Amino acid sequence: MAIKIGVISLGCAKNMVDTEVMLGILANEGYEFVQQLDQADIALINTCAFTNDAKEESINTILEAEQQKRFGSLKGIIVVGCLPQRFKEQLRKLVPRVDAYLGTAAYKDISDAIKKVAAGERYSAYADRTLTEEFEKRIITTPKPTAYVKIAEGCDNKCGYCVIPDVRGPYQSRKIEDILSEIKHFADQGYSEIILVSQDSTRYGTDIYGEPRLAELMDRAAQIKGVHWLRALYFYPDGISDELLDVFVKHDNITKYIDMPIQHMDNTILQKMGRRNTYESNLEAVRRIREKSPDFVIRTTVIVGFPGEDRKKSAMLNQGLKEAQFDHLGVFSYSQEEGTVAAEMEDQVDESEKEFRRDATLNLQSPISLARNKLRVGMIVDVLIEGKDEQTGYYYGRSYAHIPEVDGKVLIKAERQLNPGAYYQVEITEARTYDCVAELTSEEETDI
């Protein structure tokens, strides 16, 4: 009888790709996957340790698995990813019923780990993070037709608040040909929304080619048959070149969506963060993007409550956001992460003040998001249907202006059945703060 494995993947899309690689390896060896831990023989938990909240979620998930092992039928627990990579020794004391620990390159050792744990043995491994080209063999866990493609690993930016360089190592680009081969492989299987991810996509290629090559990668990827939407996430502001924007404008199937985390708008705070961008360069990047095409949608994220951020600097952040008029905004409270430069800084902001500033910034963004959505009323766009809300009767999905699980939705009232995973052409008829309402312009699915 095949060993049953219950898989939980936490954290970012890059973590999810690692999980999918492990699933592909294990499926090839005949293991069976189950949805619930109480049905599993072995739990495989891919963890995140980016912030305190992420660490807490990871620990709680492991503790739940320990309860299943203690009182249920679960026989083994394997914890992989960022948490064991960062906290090897502490975890052994905190969660002693875990049988195996693997680092962020866990897929290289997952087969051995499963065999050892199934035999009742303990195991740990922290393989080097040099990328290997096993990505095509992974099992996609996102709903069709969406697939994420990792174009690089690690980071060299060393922002003062971030643990990624320590946990994931230096920036490593994959070769263009390997990435294009993977995209073609999944496009041939019907995955028509391809999302390129890395910690800093605008840096892609600098380590292996000596210069940024994201523009070339996207230009070539857009020409692969079956790619209806091509997205790329995580752009550093100073890496958004005219060459890159020209590629966006050149191809209709490259979504005019720029994900550009700026983190702050006060120059003193940005300098303390170790960022290269400034108030002025942030606004200049927004200006250049929108000058290329008014159809561009820009998402950003900011951190409130960074050490030394007083009310005046918080006001400067909000003033900059008013000027930039971002379409989508994520606001995070600063997380004091051990081992980072920022964790040792003076003038730490207390948690209640962080939450106050976070709420204030989100409230500031609400009318901006509404105003940006109003600009889309009358536009005719494709929408990827994700499901139907039975209470309201609206189908919901995403246009080019929305990435999965982060942004708002497009709501569609339709008399006929719309198929999840299919694209339909609609006209935007109403703007809400974060969502849009639309009507079908065609009863037929958009041909890909």
| 166 φ/ψ angles, rounded to the nearest 5 degrees | -75, -35
Question: What one-character-per-residue DSSP string does 344-373 give?
Answer: G-SSPPPHHHHHHHHHHHHHHHHHHHHHHH
Residue from 94, 186, 95, 89 nearest 147 by CA: 186
* Strands annotated E in 152-240: 152-153, 172-173, 193-197, 229-232
Q: Look at residue 88 in the predicted model and tell me its pLDDT.
A: 85
Residue from 111, 127, 153 nearest 24 by CA: 111
pLDDT in tens, 415-435: 889 999 999 999 999 999 999
> Crossing angle, helix 311-324 and helix 351-374, to 10 degrees?
10
Cα gap 243→169, rounded to integer Å:
28
pLDDT in tens, 198-223: 999 999 999 999 999 999 999 999 99
393: number of Cβ within 10 Å:
10
For the chain, percent of residues with pLDDT exceeding 90: 89
pLDDT in tens, 44-72: 999 999 888 999 999 999 999 999 999 99
Q: Kindly tell me the burial class for residue 35, based on how many C-beta atoms sit within 10 Å of its own C-beta (0-12, 13-18, 19 or more).
A: exposed
- Please enumerate in sequence order all residues whose Cβ is within 8 A of that of 431, keeping only pairs 6 or more positions apart, or say none: 370, 373, 374, 376, 377, 437
- Please enumerate in sequence order all residues whose Cβ is within 8 A of that of 352, keeping only pairs 6 or more positions apart, or say none: none
pLDDT over 90 (residue 100): yes
Q: How confident is the model at residue 134 (pLDDT cuts 50, 70, 90)?
A: low
Q: How confident is the model at residue 178 (pLDDT cuts 50, 70, 90)?
A: very high
- As a whole number, the mean pLDDT across the chain is 95
pLDDT over 90 (residue 26): yes
Residue 122 tokens read as 């303990």
Residue from 395, 403, 151, 144 nearest 255 by CA: 403
Domains of the chain by start residue, with CATH:
4-125 (3.40.50.12160), 135-374 (3.80.30.20), 380-445 (2.40.50.140)
Q: Give the mean pLDDT of 73-85.
A: 95
Q: Is the pTM of this model over 0.75?
A: yes
306: number of Cβ within 10 Å:
28
Residue from 2, 76, 21 nearest 43 by CA: 76
Cα gap 174→221, rounded to integer Å:
14
Residue 161 tokens read as 């608040």
The answer to whether 430 and 437 have CB atoms below 8 angstroms apart is: yes
